[in-house]
Chain A
């Protein structure tokens, strides 16, 4: 007679990147079913919004995803600017795009390190952190903060861009370092063994589970919101679409996406070096009231499409504010994706989806 074993993976487990809890039912090391349990980091972001004015809420949204804070402040700023029909000056757009893409690179770098750590390789973690550190140093110089930047404000940015030579330096060293990573990781036979053909995510499944971002594009679906985003208008770039569907492709797609982001940053940098002084019309945040109506704003965050929905009744506080985050749907996907896999593949597969818990719990 055989009976299954219930294993409680997390919330205090070294490889769940925070406080994800997976209730696994195991037969030997084979997973029969997986039930994700989230909410250990729930901060009530949506409830808080209903009690605060927009400017009071702005510093908080960085914390939704502490690895990619710029994206969420951009979302909230975008909602307000759209509602008040404010057109952003080109220079502000360039600054925002450059910082967003730098932020995307730092987030992907951290993912590469953490993913390889999950697979048991120690060194890439430190290598990735070394480069990420350079980006964080720049953010700290510019905004005074390493993670919770609070730099974008309604209608523009808090202050003019500075230290562009640091960005140039990052751009000049990154390609070389990326090649180094690829040398040590990409074609490593053990890495291939662990990731090739593991965690196959078909395009239909991915769409049905509302998976977005790199995970969707690595399954062969060409959907990158940046192409429709007015913020990115005038930037020339291609979405990284690969058709491998497995963990390895998701890794490779992220590496290629870093390169694509570097391309975008380069374009922004060229523009910013020519551009004159910053001229922006900031929206007065005091007594800021959005006209009555529903507003929805989307952005391509590192972990998938992020949306911010605001329903305003004309008050100085939102009547209802809802976040859509990419990771939340990836966690739901684990139910399907981990079924029938073995325990040590499960960690690699869950890692390859790039789940981050503050984003899930909101």
Chain B
């Protein structure tokens, strides 16, 4: 990849191994990468809660022809544009992250609480999540 040109277009990005860390404009970066390289599969989106910085989303791209992985990482506070327009598999990942991390994906209409009940308070995989839902107390009383 022509890294210099890439850096010129998208400011403030850095390359660590095969991981590109970007600050903003996720869709632009992915579209730019796809134009040059045949990454045809979004294997997964990994979300990691980084405390006050926000949630780091790592997009794990894969090219079947080149057998090559690429990670694009972006840190967001609470919302980000959805990539379902490019990779349909993101529907599944984004839904999971919405449920467990509380990140909203703009443009994904199928977002819902996937594992947790509809009216569950908090998002369990966030580091500041406190297990204080009333239903948990009820569970304790039963035992």
Using a CB–CB cutoff of 8 Å, the interface residues on chain A facing chain B are 35, 38-39, 42, 44, 46-47, 50, 204-205, 207-212, 221-223, 228, 296, 305, 307, 309, 311, 319-320, 322, 324, 328-329, 331-332, 335-336, 361
B-side contacts of A46, CB under 8 Å: 100, 125
Distance from B143 Cβ to chain A, minimum over Cβ atoms (Å) = 18
The answer, yes or no, to whether B114 is at the interface (CB within 8 Å) is yes
A324 touches B43 (CB 8 A): yes
Residue B40 CB within 8 A of the other chain: yes
Contact B87 A361 (CB under 8 A): no
On whether the beta carbons of B88 and A208 are closer than 8 Å, the reply is: yes
Q: Which of B14-60 contact A (CB under 8 A)?
A: 40-44, 46-49, 60
Q: How far is the CA of A319 from the CA of B92 in the complex (A)?
A: 23
List chain B residues, Cβ under 8 A from A209.
88-89
Q: Which of A44, A309, A319, A332 is in CB contact (< 8 Å) with B91?
A: A332
B124: which of A44, A223, A296, A324 is its contact (CB, 8 Å)? A44
A322→B44 contact, CB < 8 A: yes
Verify B48–A223 contact, CB threshold 8 A: no
Residues of B with C-beta under 8 A to A204: 40
User: Could you list 13 A-B pairs, sorted by A, with CB under 8 Å?
Assistant: A38-B114, A39-B114, A50-B125, A207-B40, A207-B41, A208-B40, A208-B41, A208-B89, A223-B64, A309-B46, A322-B44, A322-B46, A329-B92
B132 interface residue, CB < 8 Å from A?
A: no
Whether A307 pairs with B43 at a CB distance below 8 angstroms is yes
Q: Is the CB of A47 within 8 A of B64?
A: no
Distance between Cα atoms of A47 and B60 in the complex (Å): 21
Bound form: Cα–Cα A319–B100 in Å: 15
Number of A-B contacts (CB under 8 A): 69
Q: Is the CB of A210 within 8 A of B115?
A: no
- Residues of B within 8 Å of A331, CB to CB, are 92
**A47: nearest chain-B partner, CB-CB:** B124
Instruction: Considering the complex, give the chain B residue whose CB is closest to the CB of A311.
Output: B48
Q: Write the nearest CB–CB distance from A290 to chain B, whole angstroms.
A: 15
Point out which of B41, B87, B91, B100 has the most chain A C-beta atoms below 10 A from its C-beta: B41
Q: Which residues of B contact A (CB under 8 A)?
A: 40-44, 46-49, 60, 64, 67, 87-89, 91-92, 100, 110, 114-116, 124-125
Query: In the complex the two chains form, is A42's CB within 8 Å of B64's CB?
Result: no
Q: A38-B114, A228-B67 are in contact. Are A47 and B88 (CB under 8 A)?
A: no
Of all chain A residues, the one with the shortest Cβ separation from B17 is A294
CA A42 to CA B113, docked complex, whole Å: 12
A211, B92: Cα distance in complex, Å = 12
- Write out the residue numbers on chain A whose beta carbons fall within 8 Å of the beta carbon of B116: 39
By a CB distance below 8 angstroms, the chain A residues around B60 are: 296, 307, 324
* Closest B residue to A43 using CB positions: B115
Among B48, B88, B91, B124, max chain A CB count under 10 A is at B88
Q: Whose C-beta in chain B lies nearest to the C-beta of A360?
A: B92
Bound-complex Cα distance A133 to B42 (A): 37
Q: How far is the CA of A320 from the CA of B60 in the complex (A)?
A: 16
Q: Could you tell me if A332 and B89 are in contact, using CB atoms closer than 8 angstroms?
A: yes
**A-B pairs, 10 with minimum CB distance:** A210-B89, A332-B92, A42-B115, A39-B115, A324-B44, A320-B48, A207-B40, A208-B88, A209-B89, A223-B64
* A108 CB to nearest chain B CB (Å): 23
Known A39-B115, A336-B88; contact A305-B43, beta-carbon cutoff 8 A: yes
Residues in A whose Cβ lies below 8 Å from that of B115: 38-39, 42, 44, 361
Q: Determine the distance from Cα of A116 to Cα of B86 in the docked complex, in whole angstroms.
A: 35
Which A residues are in CB contact (< 8 Å) with B100?
46
